Chains A and B, each alone.
Chain A
Amino acid sequence: MSSQYHQAREDARPELHARPGRFEADAVMGVVAREWILYGQSWRATTFAAVVEPTLYLLCFGFGMGALIGTLAGFSYIDFLGTGIVAVSVMFQSMMPAVINTFIKRRFLHTYEGILAAPVDVRELVTGEALWLAMRSGVYGCVPLLVAIGFGLRPGPGMLLVPLIAFLAGFAFALFGIWISAVITSVRSMDYVFSGLFTPLFLVAGTFFPLTELPGWVQNAAMVNPLFHAVELIRGAVFGGLGAGAAVLHVGVLLGFIVLMWFLASFQMSRRVVS
């Protein structure tokens, strides 16, 4: 008679669900489920940061600078800033943890050693990590919008698209961050990332001021900045006036960036975790 141990394995049969070489949603969702459980412990701190940061930005820049500027590019400054901060918030909510947490989990906590010993491959691991951060960004990206509404931004139906845009941009930035985390070799390298990459990314994206006043080459450089496209999409959704062609272009750039970063992140992470 078969033992309970073996009978239970007959019932479970995880190998029936694992297919070598195939990209599997179950494996990705396993990684997401893991993050969800971890989030159960950290949601207070995460939510605190997601609410307080944009509120302070809007208070200081909105009222401080807004009193001096009045209107900008046809918008009141606080409306201009509020929508920009949604995109910045998405970037910070996805890219920062993607760089820092992923690096720590790989390098110090040996977390990926454990996950990759289960029937999960590197592509699924990368996708799961990025997907979770994108989902989180989709939700928390809306917080600055709610705060901006509290500061006077007029609600509109186009705002319902913001979570989707935030998810898309969050996915792109998370994959970007995971790739960077797999490129860098030490914690010290993060200084280069934050100063040399994060700062120009969020300054040259039309978040705090329009790009039209910047030199031409900076404007051209902004075209390859995914944050710029996220900002344009969010402003278009909130205020309207974004043509279909422009919307397709911005979404297309973000999707292209996602595909490129997915390959780079998966490739580089494989090099790090498989010797």
Chain B
Amino acid sequence: MTTPVPGRRLPGSASTAPRDTPPDVPALLLRGVVKRFGRLTAVDGLDLEVPQGVVLGLLGPNGAGKSTTMKMLTAQSLADEGEIRILGHAIPAESKWARARMGVVPQHDNLDEELTVEQNLRMFSFLYRVPRGRRREAIARAMRLAQLGDRGDTLVDDLSGGMRRRLLIVRALLHRPELVLMDEPTVGLDPQVRQDLWGVISALRDEGVTVLMSTHYIEEAERLSDEVALMARGSVVERGTPADLVAKYAGATVEEYTPGDEGADALEQRVREHGFTTRRTGVTVSVLRAEELPDSLRDRLGAPQRRASTLEDVFVTLTGESVE
């Protein structure tokens, strides 16, 4: 299991969870949500409840319905069936109220490139109705959090990819939302920049802000999320803490065997006959929960490579699809 990323502390913060909404009301509630585009069902009976103060990673491959779900939460896509509530507000009827209390980090970078960092933030301070007397402070705080404190006058066009992403994230935090939606916040960024952004997201988690983060990066979901919901073909197939999911579906150890093309099928069949789950990556057969393999069986399989079980093993097992 990977270690959590230490979050940057928001200035002057304590770790109490926000409680503008009664604590028993979930930050997010989706029941039987269906969204169709013509003959394609993008979201198919989605049930999801996110309590306040939880960081939930919505993990799934491309086309799993994550982005459609995110769009439905901001009422930019309307569900054909089902119920959606955000902080107690019914969507889409009370979407504007909900949007006033949440921040949204879009998948697409839609910063105004011809404007400066400060100007981009100022624009959204208007849209989020930050009171005039608090705008300057809100913008300064956002720039500090994004580590762009000395870049206020820099044109967005002159920022690096990582800086732009950080700006995009803190733009959604100007009004101190209770809930933050992040749609693939680190997609397309190099690993170093991604790690940098994790610090910003961790800071939110430390504040007790509810976060729903869609991602198709296993490591990201594992490091940042209190819980992970695995999504495939439009619905959640399993949910739990990363550790619990790994323990439940993949055990502690995975053994990888590379018997060659002809032997792989036979090896897989033999292992499965004993009730074990396997996954194939090319000619390599991975046996999950390998610590429970009887010695008599193991002796017949050959020499394995051993490694710790991961969330990716769980995902592939449950969905049959690979993720990054």
Among B81-98, those with CB < 8 Å from A are: 89, 93-97
Pick the interface stretch among B105-113, B254-262, B296-304, B307-315. B105-113
Taking a contact as CB atoms closer than 8 A, the residue among B97, B123, B130, B138 that contacts A15 in the complex is B97
B110/A113 in contact, CB under 8 A: yes
Residue of A nearest to B130 (CB): A12
Interface status of B160 (Cβ within 8 A of chain A): no
In the bound complex, CA of A19 to CA of B97 (Å) = 6
Contacts of B172 in A (CB 8 A): 117
Taking a contact as CB atoms closer than 8 A, the residue among B10, B93, B99, B108 that contacts A119 in the complex is B99
Contacts of A34 in B (CB 8 A): 123, 126-127
Taking a contact as CB atoms closer than 8 A, the residue among B37, B119, B138 that contacts A8 in the complex is B138
Interface status of A33 (Cβ within 8 A of chain B): yes
Among A246-262, those with CB < 8 Å from B are: none
Interface status of B8 (Cβ within 8 A of chain A): no
A119/B15 in contact, CB under 8 A: no
Contacts of B247 in A (CB 8 A): none
A4/B10 in contact, CB under 8 A: yes
Decide: A12 near B93, CB < 8 A? Known: A30-B129, A37-B119, A275-B77: no
Residue of A nearest to B177 (CB): A9
Interface status of B39 (Cβ within 8 A of chain A): no
Decide: A3 near B100, CB < 8 A? Known: A117-B74, A275-B77: no
In the bound complex, CA of A8 to CA of B77 (Å) = 31
A6/B127 in contact, CB under 8 A: no
Among B12-39, those with CB < 8 Å from A are: 12-16, 18, 20, 37
Interface size class of B (residues with CB under 8 A): 35 or more
In the bound complex, CA of A256 to CA of B109 (Å) = 39
Q: How many residue pairs bridge A and B at CB < 8 Å?
A: 149
Among A141-186, those with CB < 8 Å from B are: none
B contact face: mostly helix, strand, loop, or mixed: loop
Residue of A nearest to B203 (CB): A5
Contacts of B124 in A (CB 8 A): 114, 118
Interface status of A53 (Cβ within 8 A of chain B): no
B13/A120 in contact, CB under 8 A: no
Among A15-40, those with CB < 8 Å from B are: 15, 17-21, 26-27, 29-31, 33-34, 37-38, 40
Task: Produce 1/0 per residue, B19-63, CB < 8 A to A.
Answer: 010000000000000000100000000000000000000000000
Interface status of A195 (Cβ within 8 A of chain B): no
Interface status of A47 (Cβ within 8 A of chain B): no
Task: Produce 1/0 per residue, A213-234, CB < 8 A to B.
Answer: 0000000000000000000000
Interface status of B115 (Cβ within 8 A of chain A): yes
Contacts of A40 in B (CB 8 A): 119
B18/A9 in contact, CB under 8 A: yes
- Most A CB contacts (10 A, CB to CB) among B96, B112, B124, B137 go to B96
A29/B175 in contact, CB under 8 A: no
Contacts of A9 in B (CB 8 A): 18, 20, 175-178
Closest 3 CB pairs of A and B: A9-B176, A4-B12, A117-B104
